[in-house]
Amino acid sequence: MLGMVYSCSMKYIKKIRHRRRRGRASTALRFFSVMLVLILGASSLYLFYLDGVVVKKFEGQRWALPSKIYSAPFTLSPGLDIQQIGLVSRLRRLAYHPVAHPVRNPGEFYQSKIGFEIYPHDFEYPDYAETASPVRLSLSDENRINRIIDLSDLSDRDQFLIEPEVIGGFYEAEWEERNLIQLSDLPQSFVEAVIVMEDRRFFDHFGVNLKSIARAAWVNLQAGKVVQGGSTLTQQLVKNFFLGNERTLKRKAREALMALLLERRYSKEEILEAYFNEIYFGQNGIMGIYGVGQGAWFYFEKSPKDLTLGEAALLAGIIRSPNIFSPVQDVFKAVRRRNLVLEVMFAEGKIALEAYISAREEKVIAKVPKQRLNTAPYFTDEIRRQVAGLYPPRVLNAGGLQIFTTLDAELQRIAEKSLRKGLEGLESKDSRLRRSRPEDQLQGALVAIDPKNGAILAMVGGRDYRISQFNRVTDARRQPGSLFKPIVYLAAFEEAATGGSPYTPMSEIDDAPVTLSVGGKAWSPENYDHSYMGSITLRAALERSRNTAVVRLSQELGIDLLVKTARDIGIRSPLKPIPSLALGSVEVTPLEMAIAYGTLANGGVYSPERYLSGIIDPSGLPVDREGHESGEALSRRVVTEEAAFMVTHLMQGVINAGTGSGVRRLGFDRPAAGKTGTTSNLRDAWFIGYTPDLVTVVWVGFDRNQRGALTGASSALPIWTRFMKLASFSEPHDFSVPGGIVLKKVNQKGVLCEKDGVEEAFIVGTEPTQSCDKGILKWFKKLFF
């Protein structure tokens, strides 16, 4: 009985144990099933996420394209001196190269006894596309252009544009210089060279090459770390597009997955085109060279479609390691790598023996990178300020805009050198001007504009941008001193031109002590030399910069008229209607004074300053012209042509015989008008002068407004003259005489005197009628003549 009970008990226990084991197995199965579903779901979600990343990047904006800032194109025309305009240096900066025969290809220039030939590059301007057509410049014995001949049809041209230079740019973390191309733009030799060297099975695999991966895995296993990849071109594109350079198995796995997704969605041709636009080819100063389009331009100064077989092979060879195989780094290694590419292409049957031998014989030139920094940093800062309100930072830094400006790159270089040399010269001559700390050094500013349209041609906002980014041209408000006096004379001549008081250069004003009540206090201005000349003409008063005389004239006219005249011609700073305004007691910027004097040079037509000439997007389409209208469109007449000419005529006397005569002593002999400016305690030194084509302002002083023993004639004038001698490119011509002006010979008393008189300008109706021929002399003339 006990045995039966024991037996039954044991069977029951076994049954329970079996059921428990089956329950545990079922629970484990359910657990693993759930985990498998979760893993598959997470993997699917991850793949879905990766697919979204691929699509978003590949179908959106693929590259952060820097926005480039261009100078103005330079216009060649008959009469220009090719040496003075720095034609060869301009062409070299634009990647032109000299040839020993007449030009045949874009980017070449040729100098011969009969002239100068140029084959320009194609270029997209905001308003039109310039198609390359070679020209010959026929030159005189003085190297001036006589004729411009279009070599395509031997016709004469009035002018010829040299494309603009890149002077700066806006970019994000790195300036990635990239010229986007289409696959059809590439020579087949380059495509085949890259494929045979980087991924021979590109057109056969589905994004990854399992054989290459297995080979790389074995090498990495032996090394104990990741030292070799088995990446296809698609994987390389994924790494550059979406991932970093980290060498881990996790990153490699993600790279492979994204390569599979990329190949599933896009064609081989689309992938290959993106790859060719992404390849890194090395550095050019601060700019990274990316894509075949930019690589071909950087290394060979040509479009990819024009590459020779040897050049295509060299570019293909650089891809593996630009820091080793670039001719910038080592020409010999670059040649060996190129030859290896050619050998592989020949062995694969991609090129014939004759082509292989010919390509190996091509000469490789050591490429010297250009350290591309902002050519005009103060100016480009102003450009950013100008366009910041038009475009958000993302568009500016990565939208690939081409921003065309008014700057003349050669004038900018002349301006920077003139200011730097001038300040150094002043310090070397006068120890009182020297400072030990760079931030305390003597400072200066120079701005040059085209008076016809207000275009900024050169802008130097300080001595050294690296030390101080403060732009003294646009933001430094300083007293202009005597620079303000011509505005008083302009108001007087405008009165005469519009039927008011008939002021002439020979009108007399008293240069004597004067005391005025200002705010209940007596104000007694003095002349710079503390002397007085008595009754003098308006011409003499301006030429010799007499303070008391101009104060008296301003009182005759009224300070309110002076304020209005200053506003009309371009002064925007606050102007207090006080007597000392005639002596420049207000604070203005150099740019304001340049625009004001530009109105005089432009015959009384005001043109606001202009920085921009147009903006286009990466596809070459103009964008948002609002905000950068042409200077001509915004120009307006603010004073009569006659009044403006009268002031110009008087300021020609300032340069020829007055306080600005140092201009002539220093060798500037073109027709010009100008005025010196010196403030009290010799803190600010100015000189503004202009020819019919160019207005230039120079200011010299200390940022902290220290006394500096500075005068306009000794400090600013030499810098102005140095610049203008180098910057005046065209043939000299005089200021045009308006129809309402008559020129008469008069003596010192303003009496007509044909024999001994000096030519003077008068507004019609104000000219003298009295003759110096009187009495017995007049009777004898009538009797015998």
Residue 741 half-sphere exposure, CB side, CA atoms within 13 Å? 23
Catalytic residues: 198, 482
Q: How far apart are CA 670 and CA 690, in angstroms?
A: 10
Which whole-number Å values give the CA distances from 180 to 239, 279, 281, 632, 642, in the listed order? 19, 11, 14, 35, 54
Q: Which of 405, 374, 375 is nearest to 616 (CA)?
A: 405
Q: Which of 407, 409, 411, 408 is nearest to 727 (CA)?
A: 411
Which one-letter amino acid corresponds to residue 559? I
- Six-digit token pair at 254? 């993600």
DSSP 134: -
Distance of CA 589 to the CA centre of its chain: 22
Termini Cα distance of the chain:
178
> In the chain, what are the helix, strand and coil shares in percent, each to the nearest 5?
45, 20, 40
Q: How far apart are CA 645 and CA 641, in angstroms?
A: 6
Instruction: Give the containing element (helix H, strand E) for 522.
Output: strand 521-523
Which one-letter amino acid corresponds to residue 386? Q
Sequence-distant (6+) residues with CB within 8 A of 124 are 130, 402, 616, 620
Q: How far apart are CA 237 and CA 259, in angstroms?
A: 8
Q: How far apart are CA 735 and CA 144, in angstroms?
A: 22
Give 130-139 contacts, CB < 8 A, sequence gap 24+: 130/161, 130/163, 132/106, 134/103, 135/160, 137/76, 137/82, 138/114, 139/82, 139/115
At 149 the three-state DSSP class reads: strand
DSSP 184: G
Q: How far apart are CA 522 and CA 431, in angstroms?
A: 37
Rg (CA), the chain: 38
